[in-house]
C-alpha cells in the first residue's frame, strides 16, 4: 500500500496520510517531481510495473470534502501562487494548480485528443518519434482510466446552449458537445475550485488513487515539498533535494531522494525554472514558451441565462481550430491562411468573473456585476507560436516574458469578430471584452472598433492563459531542444522532463489528454528500457544535508533532542581530549578535498540546531562556540596511599563573539533520566550554575544539552551538537585561513560563469549575499577578465581581475576594495575581501560586522567568503532566439 506524507495536520483523508516529523532520506528506483497530469500518470504506470516510486509535490493534499465552493478559501489551497501567477508585465494571468493532482484538480475537465495535424507537425518538423500505435494505444488507455464521456444533451446548461444556438445562427459547421473526464457530473459549476462531489475524474481520484491502493504498490508521495536542487555529476543525476514548507513559507524539514531515474513533471514554468536554477540546459530551457492566450467575450441579454449554473465548459466551436474537420468556414470568414483558435463555452464563479470584468472602471464594474444572471460567456483560445520565454532574474525568480505578437492578435481579433456577431444575432444588447480603452459596444456595426483596439492598442488588452506549455521541447539536437524523443534531457542519462513543457509547439486544444498520453508513452518506454539502461545503475545512498546521528549539525532542535534522549554516551570523557596545540596547524588540521570535510582537533566546534532564531540575543552571544579539552594529571591523596594519579579532563567553553572562557571539568557518570553521560561542571562564578550533559556518539561527534542548575530531563536551556570533523560550510574563520593557505590559484578560464558568494563567520555561513559574473572582455592589449558584481541585491558594479603569483586578485575601478581568490575545486572558490574604508562595507547585512577577520600579517581586516558556481553565462541572459 502506498502512503502520502505532508506537513499539515489534516482532517480524515480518503487515502493513507501521515504528518512528517523529521528530515527524510529516500532511496528508490524512480523519483518524480510534480503530481499533475504527467506526474500522476508516470507514477501509477511505473509503480504498477513493480518499480519503487517517490512522488514529490509542492502543494498540499486536498480532497472532495475540503472543496467548499468558495474562491477565497480554495484558491490559496489549490492554485499556484493562490492565483497570483502572472507574466512579467502582470497583464496575463496564468492559471495553474499547485496541489496533489496539479492543474487537473482545478480544470474544467475538457478532453480533446491530440489533433492529427499537430501530431504530424511534431513528427515531421520536430522529430517526435511516437508511433501511431503508441499514440492510439495510450490515448485509449488514458481515456479509459479517466472515464472520458461525451456530455449528454440534457447536461448542456443555458450558457452552453447559447454558444450552440449562436453557432447555428451563423451557419458554422464544426461545433459540438465536449467530452469530459467527469461521470454523472453534479453540474455545480465550481470546477475551478475543486470538485466537492468527486465526480470529476481528476488524476487524484484516478491515477494516484490506483497507485496507492494496490497492496503491492511501493509508492510514497510527499506533499508540501519544494524541490530546489538537482545533484548531478559526470552526466548522471545522483539525487534531488527539497524542503518541506509550511503555510507561512518557512522551511521545516528537508528531503533528499536518491534514485536511479529522475523525472521532472512540474509544469511548463516550474520545470524550466528547476532546470535553469541547477545549471541544466541553460541555453535552451524555457525558450519558446506558449500560453494559449485567450479572452472571454460576454454578451449581455434581456433574458435570464444564469451561466454559472451547470457545467462550465460543455460546448466548443472547432471551425477555426487546428482540429477542424473542414476549411469551409475559414474561407467564408477570410481566415484561410490565418492561425487557429477555438471558441469555447465557459463560465466562472463570481470572484474570477469579477477579475474578467476588471478592465472596466470600478464604478462601471459594479453596474456590470449586477447583470450577472443575464450574461452569456465564451472564450477565444488562440494557438500561439513559441513566442514566450521562462528565465531567471537576478534574484532567482522565474520570470515569464510573453507578449502576444501580431499573429496572435489577428487571431484574437477574428475570434472576437465571430463571437461578437454570434451574441448580437442572439439578441445581445451589448458585448463586453477585457480591453481597458474600449470594453463595451452595443451594436454589431461597432465590432470593427473592438478589432481596431485589439490590433493597435494591445497593451490594454487583458489576457488569460490556462494552458502554459512548451519551453523544454522535444528535439534531436541539443542546440535547440531540451529533451530527446524519450523525454530524456540531452547530456544526462537518467534525467527526464515529462509534462506540457516538452510540446514542440502549442497543441491548439485543451492539453490535458495530450500531456497524459505522452506521460503514458514515456512510462512504457522507461519500463521497456529499464533492465538494459536504468536498473543496473548504482544507487548512491547520500545523506546530503539531512538530519542523522552522524551529522547532527543538520537537525532541527526537536529532532536533535530526541536523538540525544535515545542514546547513552558511547565513549568516556577521555575521548574529548583535543590536540595539545590550541591553534590550528599541520598537526591537528586537515582538509579532505574528496569529501569536502574539515578535520580540526584544536577544539570541538559547537553548533546550534538550524531552527534557532539567530536574532535572539541569548543565542547571538552563543551563536557558535567551541569547547576544548585537555587532561591534567594531578596526584590524589587517598587514605591508604599517595601513589595513584587521577586524571581530570578539564575543558574550556568559549562562545565566538564574546570574551568568555569558562573553565569546566568533564566527568564520566550516570544521571537519572539521562543514562550514561559525560557531565561538564563549570568551576567559576557565574558559570558554575550551568551544567552541560554530553553524549559522545562517535570519535568526532557529540550531542549535548545545557542546563541551569542541576540537569533534569526536559529542563534544558539549550540543545547543541559538537564536531571536530565537519563539512565545509561549518568552517570557522580560522579554518578559512588554514584552507586558503593550502589552496592554489585558479585559472582565469575556470572563473567564467556566474557565482554566488557566502560570508564565513565562526558561527555560520550567511545565505548567498552577493553574486559575481566573470567574463572576458577584449581590449587593445588582448583580453581581460572582468567581474560584474551584485552585493546584497543593492549595490552593483564592475571589477577587473589580475593574475598574481599565487592567487587571482580583483580590483574595482575606485580601488576601494580588492579581493584575493584561490580555488577549492571546479565549483568552489575561497576568497578574501579586503577593504580600505568602511564605506565599501555599507552593503553588509546587519550582523555583518561580526564576519570581519583580522589578518595579523598585514594588520588589516578582511571578510572571508566562499564562492559557489551556479551556472554559465547564459542563465544570466534573458534572451530567446
Partner 1 sequence: MDSFSLYGKIISKDNVPLGGMNIQAFDQDSIDPDDLLGQSTTDSNGIFKIDFDKSKFSKAWELLEGTPDVYLVINDSHRNQLLKTKVMQTRKEIDYHVKNNGEHDTPDPNAKDIYAGNARRLITMLRDVGNILSKENQINLNMLQNANLSEDIKKDIQNFVNDNEDRSNNFKQIIAVLASLSDTVLEELHIDDIGYDGPQVPRYPRREQYNKVIIWPKNEVFKWA
Write phi, then psi, for 245 (nearest 5 degrees). -120, 135
- 722's enclosing H/E stretch is strand 718-723
Q: Which is nearer to partner 1, 351 or 621 (CB)?
A: 351
Residues ≥6 apart with Cβ < 8 Å to 277: 228, 392, 396
Q: Which is nearer to partner 1, 350 or 580 (CB)?
A: 350
- Which residues within the stretch 787-806 sit at the binding site for partner 1 (CB under 8 A)? 788-790, 793-798
Under 8 Å between Cβ of 497 and 263: yes
Q: Which is nearer to partner 1, 186 or 577 (CB)?
A: 186
CA–CA distance, 44 with 76 (Å, rounded to integer): 27
- Which residues within the stretch 446-485 sit at the binding site for partner 1 (CB under 8 A)? 459
- Which residues within the stretch 28-87 sit at the binding site for partner 1 (CB under 8 A)? 62, 65-70, 72-73, 76-77, 81-84, 86
The nearest distance, CB 242 to partner 1, in angstroms, is 19
Under 8 Å between Cβ of 230 and 495: yes
Contact mark string toward partner 1, 238..257, x via CB under 8 A: ---------xxx--------
The nearest distance, CB 727 to partner 1, in angstroms, is 31
Residues ≥6 apart with Cβ < 8 Å to 462: 91, 92, 93, 295, 358, 359, 434, 435, 436
**Which stretch in 51-59, 230-238, 326-334, 872-880 sits in contact with partner 1 by CB under 8 A?**
872-880
The nearest distance, CB 206 to partner 1, in angstroms, is 12
DSSP-based three-state secondary structure for 735: helix
The nearest distance, CB 189 to partner 1, in angstroms, is 9
Q: What radius of gyration, in Å, describes the C-alpha atoms of the chain?
A: 32
- Which residues within the stretch 720-779 sit at the binding site for partner 1 (CB under 8 A)? 775, 777
User: What grid cell was written down for 214?
Assistant: 494496490
- Which residues within the stretch 172-231 sit at the binding site for partner 1 (CB under 8 A)? 183-184, 186-188, 190, 196-199
Write phi, then psi, for 850 (nearest 5 degrees). -75, -5
Residues ≥6 apart with Cβ < 8 Å to 164: 156, 175, 315
Residue 369 engages partner 1 in binding (rule: CB under 8 A): yes
CA–CA distance, 583 with 578 (Å, rounded to integer): 11
Interface residue with partner 1, options 308, 501, 510, 850 (CB under 8 A): 308
Contact mark string toward partner 1, 336..355, x via CB under 8 A: --------------xx--xx
CB-based burial label for 420 (10 Å; 0-12, 13-18, 19+): buried
Residue 862 engages partner 1 in binding (rule: CB under 8 A): no
DSSP-based three-state secondary structure for 213: helix
- Which residues within the stretch 404-443 sit at the binding site for partner 1 (CB under 8 A)? 426-427
The nearest distance, CB 306 to partner 1, in angstroms, is 6
CB-based burial label for 161 (10 Å; 0-12, 13-18, 19+): middle
CA–CA distance, 489 with 472 (Å, rounded to integer): 9
**Which stretch in 4-12, 13-21, 331-339, 627-635 sits in contact with partner 1 by CB under 8 A?**
4-12
Q: Which is nearer to partner 1, 183 or 618 (CB)?
A: 183
198-214 burial, b for 16+ CB within 10 Å, e for fewer?
bbbbbbbbbbbbbbbee
Interface residue with partner 1, options 48, 241, 309, 582 (CB under 8 A): 309
Interface residue with partner 1, options 133, 216, 370, 586 (CB under 8 A): 370
- Which residues within the stretch 595-654 sit at the binding site for partner 1 (CB under 8 A)? none
Q: Which is nearer to partner 1, 88 or 241 (CB)?
A: 88
CA–CA distance, 419 with 428 (Å, rounded to integer): 11
- Which residues within the stretch 379-398 sit at the binding site for partner 1 (CB under 8 A)? 393-395, 397
| 398-401 β-sheet, strand order | 287-289, 388-392, 398-401
- Which residues within the stretch 554-573 sit at the binding site for partner 1 (CB under 8 A)? none
Under 8 Å between Cβ of 115 and 507: yes
Interface residue with partner 1, options 176, 252, 306, 681 (CB under 8 A): 306
The nearest distance, CB 11 to partner 1, in angstroms, is 5
The nearest distance, CB 59 to partner 1, in angstroms, is 11
The nearest distance, CB 855 to partner 1, in angstroms, is 28
The nearest distance, CB 546 to partner 1, in angstroms, is 26
CA–CA distance, 173 with 179 (Å, rounded to integer): 18
The nearest distance, CB 630 to partner 1, in angstroms, is 51
The nearest distance, CB 273 to partner 1, in angstroms, is 14
Q: Which is nearer to partner 1, 182 or 509 (CB)?
A: 182
Q: Which is nearer to partner 1, 493 or 768 (CB)?
A: 768
The nearest distance, CB 151 to partner 1, in angstroms, is 13
Interface residue with partner 1, options 9, 133, 594, 672 (CB under 8 A): 9
The nearest distance, CB 339 to partner 1, in angstroms, is 25
- Which residues within the stretch 88-117 sit at the binding site for partner 1 (CB under 8 A)? 88-91
Q: Which is nearer to partner 1, 583 or 879 (CB)?
A: 879
Interface residue with partner 1, options 123, 137, 218, 373 (CB under 8 A): 373
- Which residues within the stretch 144-173 sit at the binding site for partner 1 (CB under 8 A)? 154, 158, 161-162, 165
Q: Which is nearer to partner 1, 186 or 852 (CB)?
A: 186
Q: Which is nearer to partner 1, 91 or 695 (CB)?
A: 91
CA–CA distance, 289 with 387 (Å, rounded to integer): 6
**Which stretch in 36-44, 213-221, 362-370, 510-518 sits in contact with partner 1 by CB under 8 A?**
362-370
The nearest distance, CB 192 to partner 1, in angstroms, is 13
Residue 358 engages partner 1 in binding (rule: CB under 8 A): yes
Under 8 Å between Cβ of 597 and 710: no
C-alpha closest to that of 93 among 82, 106, 77: 82
Please work out the total of residues on this chain that contact partner 1, with binding judged by CB under 8 A. 84
C-alpha closest to that of 595 among 543, 526, 647: 543
Distances (CA, A) of 756 to 395, 396, 793: 11, 11, 12
- Which residues within the stretch 266-305 sit at the binding site for partner 1 (CB under 8 A)? 303-305
CA–CA distance, 158 with 881 (Å, rounded to integer): 46
User: What grid cell was written down for 816?
Assistant: 576601494
The nearest distance, CB 771 to partner 1, in angstroms, is 10
Residue 493 engages partner 1 in binding (rule: CB under 8 A): no
Q: Which is nearer to partner 1, 82 or 658 (CB)?
A: 82
Alpha helices in 146-208 (DSSP H): 158-169
Q: Which is nearer to partner 1, 116 or 427 (CB)?
A: 427
Q: Which is nearer to partner 1, 153 or 531 (CB)?
A: 153
Under 8 Å between Cβ of 427 and 174: no
CB-based burial label for 742 (10 Å; 0-12, 13-18, 19+): middle
The nearest distance, CB 329 to partner 1, in angstroms, is 21
The nearest distance, CB 250 to partner 1, in angstroms, is 11
User: What grid cell was written down for 82?
Assistant: 493562490
- DSSP labels, 747-807: PTGGG-EEEEEEEB-SS-BPSP-EEEEEEEEEETTEEEEEEEEEETTTEEEEEEEEE-SSS
The nearest distance, CB 56 to partner 1, in angstroms, is 20
Cα dihedral value 507, 278, 22, 828, nearest 10: 180
Amino acid at each position: 500500500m502506498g502512503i502520502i506524507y505532508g506537513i499539515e495536520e489534516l482532517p480524515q483523508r480518503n487515502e493513507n496520510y501521515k504528518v512528517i516529523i523529521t528530515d527524510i532520506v529516500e532511496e528508490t528506483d524512480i523519483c518524480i517531481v510534480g503530481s499533475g497530469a504527467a506526474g500522476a500518470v508516470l507514477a501509477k504506470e511505473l509503480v504498477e510495473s513493480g518499480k519503487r516510486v517517490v512522488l514529490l509535490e509542492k502543494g498540499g493534499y486536498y480532497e472532495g470534502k475540503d472543496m467548499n465552493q468558495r474562491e477565497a478559501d480554495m484558491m490559496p489551497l489549490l492554485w499556484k501562487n493562490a492565483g497570483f501567477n502572472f507574466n512579467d508585465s502582470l497583464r496575463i494571468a496564468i492559471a495553474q494548480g499547485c496541489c496533489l493532482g496539479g492543474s487537473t484538480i482545478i480544470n474544467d475537465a475538457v478532453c480533446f485528443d491530440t489533433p492529427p495535424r499537430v501530431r504530424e507537425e511534431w513528427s515531421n518538423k520536430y522529430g517526435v518519434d511516437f508511433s501511431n500505435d503508441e499514440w492510439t494505444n495510450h490515448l485509449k488507455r488514458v481515456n479509459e482510466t479517466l472515464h472520458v464521456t461525451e456530455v449528454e444533451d440534457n447536461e448542456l446548461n443555458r450558457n452552453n446552449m447559447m454558444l450552440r444556438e449562436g453557432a447555428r445562427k451563423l451557419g458554422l459547421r464544426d461545433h459540438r458537445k465536449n467530452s469530459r473526464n467527469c461521470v454523472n457530473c453534479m453540474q455545480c459549476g465550481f470546477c475551478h475550485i475543486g470538485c466537492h462531489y468527486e465526480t470529476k475524474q481528476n488524476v487524484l481520484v484516478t491515477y494516484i488513487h490506483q497507485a496507492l491502493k494496490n497492496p503491492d504498490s511501493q509508492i510514497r508521495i510527499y506533499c508540501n515539498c519544494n524541490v530546489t536542487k538537482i545533484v548531478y555529476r559526470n552526466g548522471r543525476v545522483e539525487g534531488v533535494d527539497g524542503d518541506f514548507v509550511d503555510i507561512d513559507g518557512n522551511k521545516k524539514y528537508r528531503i533528499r531522494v536518491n534514485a536511479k531515474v529522475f523525472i521532472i513533471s512540474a509544469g511548463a514554468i516550474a520545470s524550466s525554472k528547476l532546470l535553469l536554477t541547477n545549471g541544466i540546459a541553460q541555453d535552451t530551457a524555457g525558450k519558446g514558451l506558449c500560453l494559449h492566450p485567450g479572452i472571454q467575450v460576454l454578451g449581455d441579454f434581456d433574458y435570464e441565462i444564469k451561466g454559472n449554473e451547470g457545467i462550465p465548459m460543455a460546448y466548443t466551436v472547432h471551425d477555426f481550430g487546428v482540429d477542424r474537420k473542414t476549411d469551409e468556414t475559414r474561407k467564408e470568414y477570410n481566415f484561410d491562411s490565418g492561425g487557429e483558435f477555438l471558441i469555447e463555452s465557459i463560465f466562472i464563479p463570481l470572484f474570477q468573473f469579477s477579475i474578467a470584468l476588471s478592465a472596466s472602471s470600478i464604478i462601471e464594474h459594479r453596474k456590470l456585476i449586477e447583470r450577472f444572471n443575464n450574461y452569456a460567456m465564451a472564450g477565444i483560445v488562440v494557438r500561439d507560436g513559441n513566442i514566450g520565454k521562462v528565465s531567471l532574474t537576478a534574484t532567482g525568480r522565474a520570470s515569464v516574458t510573453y507578449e502576444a505578437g501580431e499573429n496572435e492578435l489577428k487571431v484574437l481579433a477574428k475570434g472576437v469578430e465571430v463571437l461578437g456577431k454570434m451574441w448580437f444575432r442572439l439578441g445581445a444588447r451589448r458585448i463586453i471584452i477585457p480591453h481597458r480603452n474600449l470594453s463595451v459596444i452595443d451594436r454589431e456595426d461597432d465590432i470593427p472598433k473592438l478589432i481596431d483596439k485589439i490590433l493597435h492598442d494591445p497593451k490594454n488588452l487583458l489576457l488569460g492563459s490556462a494552458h502554459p506549455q512548451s519551453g523544454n521541447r522535444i528535439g534531436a539536437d541539443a542546440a535547440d531542444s531540451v529533451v530527446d524523443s524519450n523525454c530524456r534531457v540531452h547530456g544526462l542519462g537518467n534525467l527526464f522532463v515529462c509534462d506540457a513543457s516538452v510540446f514542440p509547439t502549442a497543441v491548439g486544444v485543451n492539453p490535458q489528454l495530450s500531456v497524459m498520453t505522452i506521460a503514458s508513452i514515456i512510462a512504457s518506454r522507461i519500463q521497456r528500457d529499464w533492465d538494459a539502461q536504468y536498473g543496473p545503475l548504482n544507487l548512491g545512498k547520500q545523506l546530503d544535508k539531512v538530519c542523522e546521528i552522524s551529522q547532527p549539525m543538520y537537525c532541527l532542535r526537536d529532532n536533535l533532542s530526541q536523538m540525544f534522549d535515545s542514546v547513552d554516551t558511547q565513549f568516556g570523557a577521555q575521548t574529548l581530549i583535543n590536540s595539545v596545540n590550541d591553534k590550528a596547524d599541520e598537526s591537528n588540521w586537515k582538509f579532505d578535498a574528496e569529501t569536502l570535510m574539515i578535520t580540526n582537533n584544536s577544539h570541538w566546534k559547537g553548533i546550534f540546531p538550524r531552527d534557532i532564531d539567530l536574532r535572539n540575543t541569548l543565542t547571538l552571544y552563543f551563536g557558535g562556540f567551541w569547547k576544548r579539552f585537555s587532561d591534567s594529571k594531578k596526584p590524589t591523596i587517598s587514605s591508604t596511599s599517595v601513589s595513584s594519579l587521577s586524571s581530570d579532563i578539564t575543558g574550556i567553553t568559549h562562545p565566538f563573539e564574546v570574551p568568555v572562557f569558562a573553565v569546566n571539568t568533564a566527568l564520566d557518570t550516570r544521571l537519572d533520566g539521562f543514562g550514561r553521560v559525560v557531565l561538564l561542571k563549570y568551576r567559576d562564578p557565574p558559570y558554575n550554575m550551568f551544567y552541560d550533559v554530553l553524549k559522545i556518539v562517535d570519535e568526532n561527534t557529540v550531542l549535548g544539552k545545557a542546563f541551569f542548575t542541576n540537569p533534569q530531563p526536559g529542563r534544558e536551556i539549550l540543545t547543541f551538537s559538537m564536531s571536530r570533523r565537519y563539512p565545509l560550510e561549518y568552517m570557522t574563520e580560522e579554518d578559512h585561513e588554514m584552507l586558503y593557505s593550502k589552496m592554489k590559484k585558479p585559472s582565469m578560464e575556470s572563473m567564467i560563469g556566474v557565482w554566488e558568494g557566502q560570508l564565513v563567520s565562526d558561527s555560520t555561513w550567511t545565505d548567498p549575499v552577493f553574486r559575481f559574473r566573470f567574463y572576458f572582455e577584449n581590449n587593445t592589449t588582448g583580453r581581460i577578465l572582468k567581474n560584474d558584481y551584485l552585493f546584497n541585491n543593492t549595490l552593483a558594479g564592475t571589477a577587473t581581475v589580475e593574475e598574481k603569483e599565487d592567487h587571482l586578485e580583483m580590483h574595482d575601478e575606485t580601488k576601494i576594495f580588492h579581493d584575493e581568490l584561490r580555488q577549492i575545486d571546479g565549483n568552489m572558490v575561497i576568497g578574501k575581501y579586503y577593504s580600505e574604508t568602511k564605506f565599501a562595507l555599507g552593503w553588509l547585512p546587519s550582523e555583518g560586522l561580526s564576519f570581519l577577520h583580522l589578518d595579523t600579517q598585514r594588520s588589516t581586516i578582511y571578510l572571508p567568503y566562499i564562492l559557489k558556481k551556479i551556472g554559465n553565462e547564459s542563465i544570466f541572459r534573458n534572451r530567446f532566439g
